[in-house]
Structure 1
Amino acid sequence: MTFCRTLANLLLSGTVALASAAQAAGITVHDARNRDVTVADAARTVSIGGAITEILYALGLERRLVGVDTTSLYPAAALHDKPNVGYMRQISAEGVLGLNPTLILAIQGAGPRETMDILETAKVPLVLVPETFSEQGLIEKIKLVGHAMGVDGRAECLATAVDADLAQLRALRAKVTKPVRVMFVMSLLNGRAMVAGHKTAADEIIQLAGAINAVDDYDGYKNIGDEAIVAARPDVVLSIERGKDSLQADAVYTHPGFALTPVAASKSFIAMDGLYLLGFGPRTAAAARDLSVKLYPALAGQGGTFASSLSAANCRQ
């Protein structure tokens, strides 16, 4: 019996020692630059990207955050409680490094390039989180952030909850019998509409909601003229809420191009919170569900209540 206890204690000690050695050696993360980054300490993390910040809070890691960017609008406590390092595409290297971070998590596309180059050469691990607008891309984003922070178990919990929400969304989407054509308009400037094509968050959220992107001949965002708008035949215009800079429905309905489309005839205009709609964070399935019900009001009765698994899951510990 004594021998068994001794053997058990030795095995336990060995396991603890191995775990401690692994932690001391650091965690390896393969990021969007196709590089392996070693993270030895995530106690002082700067988050650049609203979805990353949202994931960190969902994982119960807000105490490790020492700075966030201006797109970190959810939860509201993030920008209220944490130092602000600026807009994700106009980051100052001095502002980030001045917080003495031990880890920088930045969404792919953060910049400017000069700042990212400086951060890459600093002695602080920089993990560039891939931004892939898809269901699988969202799940992988959660797992990568959790791995970088050393909380794989919590990340698996959150990924499972999000996957369950996406499954609910797929069931609701299957009820759509006649998909509508949606055009996402970022802005109307000097009469020209900046519109989302393929390989954008807007394009994917439209598809997740069971609709069709009315623009199918280019990738990214592009300014288009009246003829292209008429040719696209959108049934609905989708945009984001940006305070006083928000696109207004009347501006769409009276626009020479949109006036000749079903959008003006049916007065179909939808605006939603930008991070919620396009952030591709843990709430994306709920956002797509809300958009789907706005596009297809009859689904509200058919699909029942969307019971998000996020509220039931405890992935913070």
Structure 2
Amino acid sequence: MSELHLDPTPCAVHRRKALRLLSAASFGAAALPLFAQSAKLPRLVTVSGAITEVVYALGAEGQLVGTDTTSLYPAAARGTPKVGYMRQLSAEGLLSLKPDAIIATNESGPAVVLDQVRSAGVKIEVIEADHTWGEVQRKVQAVGRAAAREAQARELQARLDAEWAQVQQRIGAAKGRKPKVLFVLSHSASPQVSGEKTAAHSVIGFAGGVNAMSGFQGYRPMTAEAMASAAPDVILTSTQSIEAHGGVDRFWQRPELALTPAYRKRALITQDALLLLGFGPRLPAAIGELHEKFQAAQA
């Protein structure tokens, strides 16, 4: 008896085709959101070392297509394409990276360059740098918006706020006289000292010290007269300033410093410039460390 082969009915064929199409559609629907989400993540350029730190803290470093030359932390940031110094940007350099958003502070510029980039359709987030804890908060929020990571930004901000409150509570409970601290900016042959309305002035106060220079805003040249009248207990400077001088011994050889109480005790505190003055997510740790060094210098 021969084997009998039955041809499938047209209805069965249609049913199998429909099932195959439905299965393919289901697979595509599951995969599409992941692909679409990846494709839509904004391309970012950051103009500020502290802002770049926030990008890494949010895990958004894969979205970075460019950073400025102050973006040195973490070490991986040094390998990103550079758009130049934050105050000397060019529209051509920024636009060549095809960013969806540029995140900068109001210290960045020139302003005409940012206007040109904005008119080319690139979103620009400009954060006010006023040397307060609010500045750090605004940086986290701005990066969260620009990177499409607002939920992660809220989580990071909550953690940083808790760290900041803890550090400030500890510093507020410290007893004893607040040290008079002089900040020296000396990345070149002409050292300057910081007055009010500067990042250095704010961090000295946050860490439980008093700025030895007052009565002016910004920076002024370091003179013998200024050193003698300021009479600082402690000299604060950046590790980059010490390197520019050729080491600690060469730094103390400046004749102006010999007129200060800090010179007699060799009371010198150094911190990395970006950590100390950047007002980024490491600020609570930087202030806590600075406070401990102030306390040790007073002992």
TM-score (ref. length: structure 1): 0.75
* Deviations 1:158-181, CA, capped at 9 Å, x for gaps: 111111111121122121421101
Local SS of the residue matching 2:186 = strand
| Match of residue 74 from structure 2 | 75
* Alpha-carbon distance in structure 2 between the residues aligned to 1:249 and 1:182: 18
Structure 1 residues 129 and 212: alpha-carbon distance in aligned structure 2, compared to 1, 3 A threshold: same
Name whichever structure is richer in helix by fraction: 2
Residue 186 of structure 2 is matched in structure 1 by 187
Q: Is the 8 A contact 1:42 1:102 kept in 2?
A: no
The alignment partner of 2:217 has SS state of coil
What letter corresponds to residue 200 of structure 2 in structure 1? Answer: A
* CA shift for structure 1 position 225: 1.9
Partner of 1:222: 220
Q: Is structure 2 residue 95 aligned with structure 1 residue 97?
A: yes
Distance 1:162 1:241 in 2: 25
The answer for the alignment partner of 1:66 in structure 2 is 65
Q: Does 1:268 align with 2:267?
A: yes
- Note the residue ranges of structure 2 that are not aligned, 5 or more in a row: 1-39
Work out the number of aligned pairs and report it: 258
Q: Report Cα offsets for 1:104-148 as digits up to 9, x if no partner.
A: 111221123443342233221121122121122222321232123
Q: 1:180 to 1:216 in 2, by over 3 A?
A: same
Give the alignment's Cα RMSD to 1 decimal.
2.3
User: In structure 1, how many angstroms separate the alpha carbons of the residues matched to 2:215 and 2:271?
Assistant: 25
Deviates more, 1:173-182 or 1:247-256: 247-256
Structure number with bigger Rg: 2
- State percent identity of aligned pairs: 40
| 1:44 aligned partner | 43
Give how far 1:205 is off.
1.0
Q: Note closer, same or farther for the CA distance 1:145–1:65 as it changes in structure 2 (3 Å cut).
A: same
**Equivalent position SS for 2:191:** strand
Instruction: Kindly indicate whether the alpha-carbon contact (under 8 Å) linking 2:228 and 2:260 is maintained by their aligned counterparts in 1.
Output: yes
Contact 2:180/2:211 (8 A) holds in 1:
yes
Where does the alignment leave 5 or more consecutive residues of structure 1 unmatched?
1-40, 301-317
What letter is aligned with 2:232?
Answer: P
Select which of 140, 143, 146 maps to 2:141: 143
Q: CA deviation at 1:62?
A: 1.0
Letter of the structure 1 residue corresponding to residue 45 of structure 2: V
Aligned to 1:254: 253
Q: Partner letter of residue 195 of structure 2?
A: G
| SS in structure 2 of the partner of residue 128 of structure 1 | strand
Q: Amino acid of the residue matched to residue 226 of structure 1? A: A
CA distance in 1, matches of 2:143, 2:171: 29
Letter of the 2:65 counterpart: V
8 A contact 1:129–1:145 mirrored in 2: no
Task: Name the residue aligned to 2:20.
Answer: none
Q: Which amino acid aligns with 2:72?
A: L
Q: State whether residues 188 and 247 of structure 1, in contact with CA within 8 Å, keep that contact through their aligned partners in structure 2.
A: no
Question: Which of 92, 105, 108 is residue 106 of structure 2 equivalent to?
Answer: 108
Matches within 5 A, 1:285-300: 285-297=284-296
> What letter is aligned with 1:125?
K
Describe the shift of the 1:176–1:140 C-alpha distance in structure 2 as closer, same or farther (beyond 3 A): farther
Residue 226 of structure 2 aligns with an amino acid whose one-letter code is A
The 2-side partners of 1:112 and 1:136 are apart by 24
Q: How does 1:194-205 map to 2 (within 5 A)?
A: 194-205=192-203
Matched-pair contact (CA < 8 Å) for 1:241–1:274: yes
